Structure 1
Amino acid sequence: MQTDIAISRAAILKPINEIAATLSIPPQAVEPYGHFKAKIDLSRVPATGKQGKLILVTAINPTPAGEGKSTTSVGLADALNRIGKRAILCLREPSLGPCFGTKGGAAGGGYAQVVPMEDINLHFTGDFHAITSAHNLLAAMIDNHVHWGNALDIDVRRIVWRRVLDMNDRALRDIAQSLGGPANGYPRESGFDITVASEVMAILCLASDLEDLEARLGRIVVAYTRGKQPVTARDLKADGAMAVLLAQAVKPNLVQTLEGNPAFVHGGPFANIAHGCNSVIATRAALGLGDYVVTEAGFGADLGAEKFFDIKCRQSGLKPSAAVIVATVRALKMNGGVAKADLGIADPEAVRRGGVNLARHIENVRQFGVPAIVAINKFSTDTEAELEVIREIAAAQGSEAILCTHWADGGVGAQALAEKVAELCDHATPQFAPLYDDGLSLFDKINTVATRIYRAEEAIADPGVHAQLKRWEDAGFGALPVCMAKTQYSFSTDPAKLGAPTGHVVPVREVRLSAGAGFVVAICGEIMTMPGLPRVPAAESIRFGANGEIEGLF
């Protein structure tokens, strides 16, 4: 089969105004960026009064074997439209870091892609650049305030706002800044995170509108005074200018799938130290324009789905109707102890051993009152005996596993899944509820996720962490949800513990307040907020070919 980029380039795309017209979006609300992508000015879109069905696509714990969550999201949206349902896709925007690093882009794959693939995976409509600029403007205003007298009494040892860049660059993780004498400010240690790890990104994706965005920006805690009192972006009078920089970025981006169906691709927060979902603004817009909305959450269901339910849905009032859990034979065999080099060898018993991972994810999603179905993303090496094991595992959990071939066949390869998902949405009676109440203490919320989702014995933390959480509760932040930052590869904090481990503990080594985004981050283990490039980065293969077209993107 052709490469993703070749398939994308061969597609005949519809003008973006035609895609908007299928959703009854008036021309005056469409702000084109070229011929095939556009910003949508929602203030010019008449309210429809409708509320579509929200479908979350999540997955088992990710492995090097691949699961195909984004590809399945695209395939499902295309398939729903094929069976006569008015469906809209809502995805996150890709970061340049993974595009030039190891992971590649995030526009789907094979014949289940959003297009134009090159544009989406590179600069797109400039949203990430706007977020980078707004974040770094705030950083500059902190240092400038200290330089010109420090009227807020900021303790330069307690400035917690770092700078960001949308690139993998390990050399910037920890830096010494403001060297070179008094004219350059007060020397101190700091560093850079990747843009998707910025609280500004999380804020953009949780804000309900531009006014809410500015209010959230103002609540960002950037530093502490010598008396240990928080200093916010509003204290520095930075919130207004930051909002101005984000005025275009807050508008959702409209593109299309290879089959010409509408897709909102907007926002892209980290799935570890943030909630890993596309914007609330885009999701709500889609729910008002379509009958079914397909969206996804980062990593496996233990991180992505939990945060989708406990953070995004809690803050926005969204109520999902169904969930799809993506699994592959190859990934389950890895969870069953098979080495990557041996995944092509048929081994139903390894699938069964690794299937405990899938079973637990089904159990966990159902804890939220959301009915779940399993999508088997088929590889050519899969055997019928291996596929049957997955069906048995799903059935034992009261669910159903549906074979999908959307990567090779497009929407037609996910039609069986679409029929089942539509039936779930139309006839099931989900009783969605977050995992914990707002009134629990912050540490009790952390412990609830650790014990009920990760199946740990308990969460533990040293007295300093408990004291910090208590200070935040006393300051009025106790009702916030928690955002667990741990390895995505395991239910535990040890990436080597595959399958469905139990009896472990979840050590919380640090907590961070994201007051603007509206959650408290619990750092469990080592979390990298500025990745590095691999030994052979994807960037080495990306270039213009002889015909002037981009090569090497995937």
Structure 2
Amino acid sequence: MKRILEVVLELGIPEEFFIPYGWYVGKVKWNYYKEIQNNPSGKLILVSAMNPTPYGEGKTTTTIGLGDAIRRLSYRSFVCIREPSMGPVFGIKGGAVGGGKAKVVPEDIINLHFTGDIHAVTSAHNLLSALIDNHIYHGNELSIDVRQIFWKRCLDMNDRQLRFIVSGLGGRANGIPREDGFDITAASEVMAIISLSRNISELKERLGNIVIGINKNGMPVLCKDIGAQGSMSVVLKDAISPNLVQTLEGTPAFVHGGPFANIAHGANSLIATEMALKLSDYVITEAGFGVDLGAEKFFNIKCRLGNIKPSAVVIVVSVRALKFHGGIKKDLEGENIEAIKKGLPNLLHHVDVIRDVFKLPVVVALNRFPKDSEREIEYVLSELRDRNIRVAISEVYEKGGLGGIQLAQEVIKAIEEDKNEFSYLYDLNESYKDKIDKICKRVYGAREVIFSESAKEDLKRIESWGFVNLPVCMAKTQYSLSDNPKLLGRPEDFVINVQGVKISGGAGFLVVYTGNIMTMPGLPKVPSAYNMDLDENGNIIGLL
């Protein structure tokens, strides 16, 4: 690894705008963007995927490897990804720094405490929780209905025991007894706010607009009614600044922000992306899960807010993912052309959404695994090329940037040669039902959208509170285009069931629930934590 100050020097960032966190990690101050806002902007490449499988398709690895490959072609490239949450690190998913020879480093620091951003989000979130209960204890001047407090507590750890709790027990001196619970920090609205705020003023305004609950008259109570936004912003003063690291090949990388891809927009911070665009020729970033969840929100929420026009989209696919969507759950390593054929419509649907709905150039990255047969690889390549779909093999896990040269060349050709008429799916002044209908029918391919009575009441109440003309953030399973995780492939004639709607007033979007979305994960029977340890020299072992 290069010393981080060397990376800063190569980028031309003045030292007064940089905060070092040791030899290999640092932060670029949020207000540096003012200094470079008139620089020409680079090209933004979004890496997405088909509907993911439990085995992982290598989206983050592809994102990092593509950044290295473009840099090998003598362009200035920049990688922008989300910060890992410690919950999944100690659970089953592991870290989120890429894999093989396509990683951001130092991986142990990034995967664990990093620069303390997630701790800061946890503390700011729980500060608001404490101030709410303190307000109630000291007379409840705002007449908050203790049965309708939306704001839970949070923790950056998988702990199912904390999903539903009763707090304030032990007598009057210990608070007012009420039902409560914990979310994982990545699911906190504060995390979404950090990822969408570009300066301190925006940060405080968004924090102030968090809806913490309802008063006894049925009206919303906001964070600014409690008076918490100022102290919360103090806790978050450094967390708003992007974290700068590097890839194994020395490509600069911002690893900043980590909102959930289900109940939030699932992308790295807006300020990091905007800053990177002013410092490079090509910025490679990713959005959570597949096109249906990640890319749709990236376009309609993040790009809209930042007035960003993407230049191309890469859809990551693997042979084993195609087999899985073709109905094969076991023996994914055995050659099976028929299963690939059955699973291909899932990929083709995602390609069509990017090309026909959002009108962007698209390239399929076929992430090659060691057990893939030549016949399987050639079948996928020929099927896509016969449909005039750009495709390239990616071998960045095994070969680093060198294994992504073909993909990088294809992506640059798509940007230079293919039509780009990027447009949002809906206008903000459309009704919420129309926005939801467009997402479900045009992006997911649903036949119909059915709203439960409680969802209709939620919408009516939120609009009566004055929350109108906001983008929509769909909370749906990532494993299927439908709201049923068992409907794999390209389901047809299905219905999306909207079960509830909530307002994220600070983040600035409506969250629409189509199923039971877990905001506090649990640990598996044998969590990854059991495999981790320190050796006698203090080195971490077993961290994936």
Range into which the TM-score falls when normalised by the shorter chain? over 0.9
**Quick check: 1:326–1:375 contact (8 Å CA) kept in 2?**
yes
**Quick check: 1:65–1:334 contact (8 Å CA) kept in 2?**
no
2:22 to 10, 34, 53: 34
Code of the aligned partner of 1:37? V
Q: CA deviation at 1:181?
A: 0.9
Matches within 5 A, 1:535-550: 535-550=525-540
1:364 to 345, 353, 378: 353
Q: CA deviation at 1:471?
A: 2.6
**Per-residue deviation, residues 195-230 of structure 1 (Å, max 9, x unmatched):** 000000001111121210110000000011100110
Code of the aligned partner of 1:35? W
Matches within 5 A, 1:152-191: 152-191=142-181
- Tell me the residue number matched to 1:453: 443
2:392 to 387, 402, 407: 402
> Secondary structure at the residue paired with 1:303?
helix
Q: CA deviation at 1:547?
A: 4.0
**Quick check: 2:124–2:235 contact (8 Å CA) kept in 1?**
yes
- Tell me the residue number matched to 2:214: 224
Q: Distance in 2 between matches of 1:68 and 1:314?
A: 27
- Tell me the residue number matched to 1:5: none
**Quick check: 2:313–2:362 contact (8 Å CA) kept in 1?**
yes
Q: Distance in 2 between matches of 1:427 and 1:297?
A: 24
1:353 to 342, 349, 354: 342
- Tell me the residue number matched to 2:62: 72
Code of the aligned partner of 1:515? G
> Secondary structure at the residue paired with 1:314?
helix
Q: CA deviation at 1:150?
A: 0.7
Identity of aligned residues (%): 53
- Tell me the residue number matched to 1:246: 236
Q: Distance in 1 between matches of 2:32 and 2:264?
A: 31
Q: Distance in 2 between matches of 1:431 and 1:206?
A: 25
- Tell me the residue number matched to 1:235: 225
**Quick check: 2:67–2:79 contact (8 Å CA) kept in 1?**
yes
Code of the aligned partner of 2:475? A
Code of the aligned partner of 2:338? E
- Tell me the residue number matched to 1:141: 131
Q: CA deviation at 1:426?
A: 2.9
Matched residues, number: 541
**Quick check: 1:391–1:400 contact (8 Å CA) kept in 2?**
no
**Quick check: 1:390–1:401 contact (8 Å CA) kept in 2?**
no
Code of the aligned partner of 2:83? E
Q: CA deviation at 1:399?
A: 1.6
Q: CA deviation at 1:546?
A: 4.1
1:292 matched to 2:282: yes
**Quick check: 1:28–1:44 contact (8 Å CA) kept in 2?**
no
1:517 matched to 2:507: yes
> Secondary structure at the residue paired with 2:477?
coil
Code of the aligned partner of 1:439? N
- Tell me the residue number matched to 1:301: 291
Q: Distance in 2 between matches of 1:66 and 1:49?
A: 37
Code of the aligned partner of 1:346? E
1:419 matched to 2:399: no
**Quick check: 2:317–2:367 contact (8 Å CA) kept in 1?**
yes
> Secondary structure at the residue paired with 1:54?
strand
Q: CA deviation at 1:396?
A: 4.7
Deviation larger for 490-499 or 71-80:
490-499
1:15 matched to 2:31: no
**Quick check: 1:89–1:263 contact (8 Å CA) kept in 2?**
yes
Q: Distance in 1 between matches of 2:427 and 2:332?
A: 42
Code of the aligned partner of 2:452? D
Q: Distance in 1 between matches of 2:65 and 2:153?
A: 37
Q: CA deviation at 1:387?
A: 1.3
Q: Distance in 1 between matches of 2:54 and 2:145?
A: 44
- Tell me the residue number matched to 1:279: 269
Q: Distance in 1 between matches of 2:514 and 2:142?
A: 32
Q: Distance in 2 between matches of 1:417 and 1:347?
A: 25
Query: Could you list the runs of 5+ residues in structure 2 that have no partner in the other structure?
Result: none
**Quick check: 2:30–2:240 contact (8 Å CA) kept in 1?**
no
Q: TM-score, normalised by structure 2?
A: 0.98
- Tell me the residue number matched to 1:444: 434
> Secondary structure at the residue paired with 1:476?
coil
1:319 to 309, 314, 319: 309
- Tell me the residue number matched to 1:130: 120
- State the superposition RMSD in angstroms: 1.1
2:40 to 36, 50, 58: 50
Q: Distance in 2 between matches of 1:186 and 1:483?
A: 33
**Per-residue deviation, residues 329-384 of structure 1 (Å, max 9, x unmatched):** 011111111123x1111111211111111100101112111111000110111122
**Per-residue deviation, residues 137-179 of structure 1 (Å, max 9, x unmatched):** 0011110111111111111111110000000000000000100
Q: Distance in 2 between matches of 1:373 and 1:491?
A: 20
**Quick check: 2:31–2:199 contact (8 Å CA) kept in 1?**
no
Change beyond 3 A, Cα 1:40–1:442: same
Q: Distance in 1 between matches of 2:237 and 2:122?
A: 14
1:344 matched to 2:333: yes
Q: CA deviation at 1:397?
A: 4.4
Deviation larger for 47-56 or 321-330:
47-56
- Tell me the residue number matched to 2:105: 115
- Tell me the residue number matched to 1:89: 79
1:467 matched to 2:472: no
Q: Distance in 1 between matches of 2:417 and 2:239?
A: 37
**Per-residue deviation, residues 76-101 of structure 1 (Å, max 9, x unmatched):** 00000000111000000000011000
**Per-residue deviation, residues 423-445 of structure 1 (Å, max 9, x unmatched):** 22233341111111112211221
Q: CA deviation at 1:476?
A: 2.7
- Tell me the residue number matched to 2:366: 376
Q: Distance in 2 between matches of 1:65 and 1:128?
A: 26
Code of the aligned partner of 1:148? H
Code of the aligned partner of 2:348? A
Q: Distance in 2 between matches of 1:482 and 1:31?
A: 36
Deviation larger for 17-26 or 464-473:
464-473
**Quick check: 1:164–1:194 contact (8 Å CA) kept in 2?**
yes
Q: CA deviation at 1:501?
A: 0.5
2:196 to 206, 210, 233: 206
**Quick check: 2:368–2:395 contact (8 Å CA) kept in 1?**
yes
Change beyond 3 A, Cα 1:193–1:42: closer
Q: CA deviation at 1:548?
A: 2.9
Q: Distance in 1 between matches of 2:539 and 2:60?
A: 25
Change beyond 3 A, Cα 1:56–1:44: closer
Change beyond 3 A, Cα 1:443–1:396: farther
- Tell me the residue number matched to 1:10: none
Deviation larger for 297-306 or 453-462:
453-462
- Tell me the residue number matched to 1:150: 140
Q: CA deviation at 1:300?
A: 1.0
Code of the aligned partner of 2:437? N
Deviation larger for 248-257 or 460-469:
460-469
1:385 to 368, 371, 375: 375
Which stretches of structure 1, 4 residues or more, deviate above 6 A after TM superposition?
none
> Secondary structure at the residue paired with 2:291?
coil
Q: CA deviation at 1:65?
A: 2.9
Q: CA deviation at 1:518?
A: 0.7
Q: Distance in 2 between matches of 1:391 and 1:548?
A: 47
Q: CA deviation at 1:465?
A: 1.5
